């Protein structure tokens, strides 16, 4: 599951970095709808990665309060961004 988690984080990072680099290189712009969709998908992928981390830590009886806080915070950002 650790590979899946890191894959989700990597894809989320690439969803932010690749369009940003494209805008800087090609000197073109994306619409705000496209930007919001890409950022929302990236946040969802990070939330999924954090959920996997919580389940792994729960099995190992580890501390997962920080991950829960990150999930709640990102969910609030996602909801505010949609509204």
DSSP state of 42: H
Please give the Cα distance from 63 to 66 (Å, whole number): 8
* pLDDT per residue as tens, the chain (83 positions): 889 999 999 999 999 999 999 999 998 888 889 999 999 999 999 999 999 999 999 999 989 899 999 999 999 999 998 87
pTM of the model: 0.89
Instruction: Say what the pLDDT of residue 44 is.
Output: 96
Please give the Cα distance from 57 to 21 (Å, whole number): 35
Output the six-digit token pair for 63.
């501390």
């Amino acid at each position: 599951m650790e590979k899946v988690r890191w894959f989700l984080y990597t894809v989320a990072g690439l969803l932010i970095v690749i369009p940003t680099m494209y805008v800087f290189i090609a000197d073109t712009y994306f619409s705000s709808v496209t930007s919001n969709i890409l950022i929302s998908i990236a946040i969802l992928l990070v939330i999924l990665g954090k959920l996997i981390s919580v389940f792994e830590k729960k099995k190992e009886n580890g501390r997962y309060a920080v991950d829960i806080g990150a999930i709640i915070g990102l969910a609030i950002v996602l909801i505010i961004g949609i509204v």
